[in-house]
Chains A and B, each alone.
Chain A
């Protein structure tokens, strides 16, 4: 009951006219930023942060604005994923897998509408979980040590192994390429530089965004150019289809499960929307076992799962930031920096000492998500028209946006060359029939897996027993085992 009182206080903050206006502006800007390839929530928040500071907003208003940009971008990221096969931000990589095929079939409108609803449910579901379980969850997040992360990542890899189904070998090779990329940079365990070729830009490892944009956007542009050279440019049909009640009912469990998965992964420190959506996608594919031949070819379940999950984890990653002062993702790390700039120290006392900030933010997220849904559905008709832009205009626009986006991360032209090299490499991979998502996920998951495995082993002094040190690790280990052998067992049983 006490919580409801706090939430009411929160709504009185969130619904104050200025804060209401700011949350709407934030969400709108966020959607726009998210939908531009290369420019993600991190850039958006980083650009607006000094502005909010200079405008002299009170801290809760500034935070409401910046958070609006953050989750607005998670909505926007899906747009270019679905329509152009170019993820608008890192959380939207998995959305390309089934979203783009749907758009090619002329069902872009249906995909956009369904994913907007899935995003909405994901966010609101995660928010309800925050309100109900905030203190308990922050304790759970602390219990997650290196060995728990090792199993979580192993589980994610197991799910991925069958992700792109029909070509397990190529998927595996893709993951390995990603893992190789993950080894570049300073090795945290020993402090040595690995595979950096003495280029300082590699000292921190390859930049995740450069890889994502290079591999997806640049290779997509090359594919478009190739079809133009061959003179077989096809206009993608723009379907009039829209979301239907039967679609929503068909994915209701998918969305709820993915919300839970995305939320939990978001709450854990160090894992964000990209991992949340990957695990959700993999899990759903497992659940659909035997009836999953449409995954990767435009299955609405494969679209709804990552979209619900990435929004849920965006909301979830706010929780450790607010309750523990520990960011759950790259973007929340910036939000944390924003709080510090306003002389607010997030941490266990924030909810007690400055409830108007913590609860105001949570309440504004309810308002913002509702606004995003209302804003997004009518705009779908406009977004879909992107597909009817002549490719001779579209290609230069994509190229320009990606170059600006990537340059804005480091302000260094090195990233641009590297992005183009990766794009050409990815184009070759695609021509050879590889899928790109496993490469990216190998990169993300590999880094977390390696770091945590080495942390676990340096804690235990090299004793692998630490990987089975508690109920959480053992549960995750069993889940991994089930995901691995489950399908074979099921097949054998069916044959009998």
Chain B
């Protein structure tokens, strides 16, 4: 009986491995839909380095770049040229989802034109001011802002309708100020916006907490609040959330990967399983932390559903802010 059980176990194990190897990418690739060096590059490095450290792939994963429109070019390319390429993961972020929600990925493409397969991690919005600014808490800042919203200049690394702008608009809404009265200045990327904050050209910068490490250590900027649901861990533990200070302002920057819309179920399952395995390994977790991201693990159908809900939420937000009719 015992031997029978063992052989049954062995058989089922063989069965499982053969199921898992039903699909095997010949040239695993991660497409970063931006120029090298930015957030999408980083997202791709998480999966290529993380999977390598976790010994999950037989062939090393290549990183390819396809810049344009916060991922619009890559999204169109995947849909038109190779919608069934199971080897190519494409990096996305909440910024891509927001553009998707506003129809900025092309008129006839929406969140149903991709198979969302795994996450890399998250970063959170943060309300920052210069270190010589008079405000010590979010409350003091909002108090001043309410007096005369139009005298208050906010600036960040994206245009109106980008996720940086969204963070500012959410803060306004949470403080009971009409987002349309907000004076918002758009810069090219977070770096320029930080420079403007330090130079005193803008007063408030709604950026991301992860990218601010260097400036925080040097004491050049002060973070009044993180836009996370709960307090963060580690070096950011001393920063209060917006919630704690009585403002319902949250913004999570999710980073993850999708596959083309016509990729086979086997290939989709293959990657979904790989992400599930990776999330359990130290190698992957360490990679995520090294790239300045915080853990947020979701894969397969659960993520697919989550993304679709989130895009719908963003669509509502965009409508409320007057970006969509």
A203-B104 contact in complex given A144-B199, A451-B188, C-beta closer than 8 Å: yes
Q: Tell me the count of chain A residues lying within 8 A, CB to CB, of chain B.
A: 56
Could you tell me which residues of chain B, from 51 to 89, have a CB within 8 Å of some CB in chain A?
63-69, 72-73, 75-77
Please tell me if the beta carbons of B68 and A270 are within 8 angstroms of each other in the complex.
no
Closest residue on chain A to residue B105 by CB atoms: A200
A337–B275 CA distance with the chains assembled, in angstroms: 25
Could you tell me which residues of chain B, from 183 to 241, have a CB within 8 Å of some CB in chain A?
183-189, 191-192, 194-196, 198-202, 213-215, 217-218, 220
B159, CB-defined interface residue at 8 Å:
yes
B191: which A residues are within 8 A, CB to CB?
A: 269, 325-327, 333, 336
A343: which B residues are within 8 A, CB to CB?
A: 290
A350–B155 CA distance with the chains assembled, in angstroms: 26
Of A27-35, A387-395, A432-440, A455-463, the one with at least 4 CB within 8 A of chain B: A455-463
A349-B68 contact in complex given A145-B201, A324-B195, A326-B194, C-beta closer than 8 Å: no
Please tell me if the beta carbons of B161 and A191 are within 8 angstroms of each other in the complex.
yes
Closest residue on chain A to residue B323 by CB atoms: A191
A114–B323 CA distance with the chains assembled, in angstroms: 55
A391–B214 CA distance with the chains assembled, in angstroms: 53
Closest residue on chain A to residue B38 by CB atoms: A337
A188, CB-defined interface residue at 8 Å:
yes
From B189, B196, B220, give the contact of A348 (CB < 8 A).
B220
Closest Cβ–Cβ distance, residue A150 to chain B (whole Å): 12
Closest Cβ–Cβ distance, residue A272 to chain B (whole Å): 12
Please tell me if the beta carbons of A347 and B214 are within 8 angstroms of each other in the complex.
yes
B104: which A residues are within 8 A, CB to CB?
A: 186, 193, 203
Closest Cβ–Cβ distance, residue A275 to chain B (whole Å): 14
Please tell me if the beta carbons of B187 and A338 are within 8 angstroms of each other in the complex.
no
Please tell me if the beta carbons of A459 and B199 are within 8 angstroms of each other in the complex.
no
A345, CB-defined interface residue at 8 Å:
yes
Closest Cβ–Cβ distance, residue A449 to chain B (whole Å): 14
Please tell me if the beta carbons of B36 and A49 are within 8 angstroms of each other in the complex.
yes
From A145, A193, A411, A458, give the contact of B183 (CB < 8 A).
A458
A340: which B residues are within 8 A, CB to CB?
A: 37, 42, 292
Could you tell me which residues of chain A, from 295 to 316, have a CB within 8 Å of some CB in chain B?
none
Please tell me if the beta carbons of B76 and A200 are within 8 angstroms of each other in the complex.
yes
Closest residue on chain A to residue B48 by CB atoms: A50
Closest Cβ–Cβ distance, residue B202 to chain A (whole Å): 7
A291, CB-defined interface residue at 8 Å:
no
A348: which B residues are within 8 A, CB to CB?
A: 214-215, 218, 220
B155: which A residues are within 8 A, CB to CB?
A: 455
Closest Cβ–Cβ distance, residue A163 to chain B (whole Å): 26
A191–B35 CA distance with the chains assembled, in angstroms: 21
A345–B73 CA distance with the chains assembled, in angstroms: 30
B147, CB-defined interface residue at 8 Å:
no
A204–B73 CA distance with the chains assembled, in angstroms: 10
Q: Mark A456-496, 1 if CB is under 8 A from B, else 0.
A: 00110100000000000000000000000000000000000
Closest residue on chain B to residue A345 by CB atoms: B214
A269-B159 contact in complex given A459-B185, A461-B150, C-beta closer than 8 Å: no
B269, CB-defined interface residue at 8 Å:
no
A49–B42 CA distance with the chains assembled, in angstroms: 13
Closest residue on chain A to residue B203 by CB atoms: A459
B20, CB-defined interface residue at 8 Å:
no
Please tell me if the beta carbons of B66 and A412 are within 8 angstroms of each other in the complex.
yes
Closest Cβ–Cβ distance, residue A139 to chain B (whole Å): 9
Please tell me if the beta carbons of B37 and A337 are within 8 angstroms of each other in the complex.
yes
A50: which B residues are within 8 A, CB to CB?
A: 63
Q: Mark B270-300, 1 if CB is under 8 A from A, else 0.
A: 0000000000000000000010100000000
A327–B193 CA distance with the chains assembled, in angstroms: 12
Q: Mark A42-86, 1 if CB is under 8 A from B, else 0.
A: 100110011000000000000000000000000000000000000
Q: Can you name 21 A-B pairs with beta carbons within 8 Å?
A: A142-B198, A145-B196, A145-B200, A187-B159, A188-B158, A189-B160, A191-B102, A191-B161, A193-B104, A198-B107, A200-B72, A200-B76, A201-B73, A203-B68, A203-B104, A324-B195, A326-B191, A333-B35, A340-B37, A340-B292, A347-B215
A contacts, CB < 8 Å to B: 42, 45-46, 49-50, 141-146, 186-191, 193, 198, 200-201, 203-204, 269-270, 320, 324-327, 330, 333-338, 340-341, 343, 345-350, 409-412, 451, 454-455, 458-459, 461
New contact pairs (18) apart from A410-B66, A410-B73, CB-CB < 8 Å: A145-B196, A189-B159, A190-B159, A198-B106, A203-B72, A324-B198, A325-B191, A325-B194, A333-B37, A335-B37, A347-B217, A349-B217, A411-B65, A412-B77, A455-B155, A458-B153, A459-B183, A459-B185
